[in-house]
Amino acid sequence: MKCAVDVGFGFTKAVNEKGKEVIFPSAVAKTFMTDIGLKPTSDYFVTYMNQTYAVGKAATQCLITETSFSEDRFANEFSKVLVLTALVALESDREVELGLGLPLMLYSKLKDRVKNYFEFAEEIIIDANNIAHSYHIARCEVFPQGVGALFSISSPVEDGIYCILDVGFRTTDVIVVEIKNKNINPLLDMCFTVDKGMSLAVERLGLMIERKYGVSYDTSLLFDIHERSHISVRGRKIDIEPHKKEVFGAIADDIVQSISRRLQRGFDTFDGVLVAGGGAFNVASVIQNEFSNVQVLDSAQFANAKGYLQLLKMYE
């Protein structure tokens, strides 16, 4: 079965060729299962190599949570646990053809290392119901993030020069390509990574809440902030939608300005600006205030994973 997993700094997104999709925070915590008569409802609890891990939202609720931002994360046990958990959640077959991605700034440096780490691996992971899942990674292909998003577009793209913005949790990848007669040519001088993402908004929101209400919400507690309109403060529900709008708008504007300075050309000079990633709607709304050629890709947060899946099929 072909499966694609986009291990982002904030969230892990995964899809398979049957159309199933899963998403969970890219968080892992070593833990143990204690029977107190109640079964945990948060996904996921898994056992790998005789160690039990909380993964995803369950990990964000643990005392010590790993949300690694180092480049080593893409070819170590942290990444392996996230990918295997995604395969379990996707209900994958034992034989897996796996598509993975890397940030543009790390792609040439790490692509072979990541491919060699996963390809031909024989893995066993045990879920919370004590059911063992065995996987053989028969094939692994590694693609640049952002490029994957381009291949998630189902309708034909007309000839022209396009700017793809992949707005992630930690970084934003900018990829400019020329499409001519269905051939895609990257314009490498205009491809780069901005070391800014929507995690800045989460961090700033945490500081704003601490200053205003005197309570501390660290990043792990705000992972799902895009889904929440209230937080609890001393037993009261506080509406944070106005704070979110202010902070996310300011960070999106900062990201857009950083991209503009590096590109040294206006967004209106492209035939289209395609925006993907978890921060797509925030950033696109800023650019759309001035330009009309901006499109948020369908299922923007899953765009890379869907693109990797399409590329897996193309490179058979």
Share of the chain above pLDDT 70, in %: 91
230 pLDDT band, cuts 50/70/90, is: confident
pLDDT at 223: 60
Q: Is the pLDDT of residue 213 over 50?
A: yes
Q: Domain 2-147+306-314 sits in which CATH superfamily?
A: ATPase, nucleotide binding domain (3.30.420.40)
161 or 146, which is more confident: 161
For domain 155-297, the CATH class is alpha beta
Helix, strand, coil tally for the chain in percent (to 5):
35, 30, 35
Asked whether this chain's domains 2-147+306-314 and 155-297 adopt the same fold, the reply is yes
Asked if residue 40 has pLDDT above 60, the reply is no
Q: SS3 of 57, please? A: helix
Please state the domain extents for the chain: 2-147+306-314, 155-297
Find, among 22, 4, 17, the residue nearest to 89 by Cα. Answer: 22
From CA 82, how far away is CA 100, in angstroms rounded?
Answer: 12
Per the model's pLDDT, the better-predicted residue between 89 and 36 turns out to be 89
pLDDT at 224 (0 to 100): 63
* Residue with the larger pLDDT of the pair 49 and 207: 49
pTM for the whole structure: 0.86
**15-43: average pLDDT:** 76
Q: Tell me: pLDDT of 157 over 50.
A: yes
Listing DSSP states for 240-296 in one string gives -HHHHHHHHHHHHHHHHHHHHHHH-S-GGGSSEEEEESTTHHHHHHHHHTT-S-EEE
The residues near 35 (Cβ < 8 Å, ≥ 6 apart) are none
- What pLDDT, on the 0 to 100 scale, is given for residue 106? 86
Residue tagged 């299962």 (tokens) = 33
The whole-number pLDDT of residue 219 equals 57
Q: What is the pLDDT of residue 257?
A: 92
Q: Is the separation of the CB atoms in 57 and 42 below 8 Å?
A: yes
pLDDT of residue 245: 86
pLDDT in tens, 125-145: 999 889 999 999 999 999 988
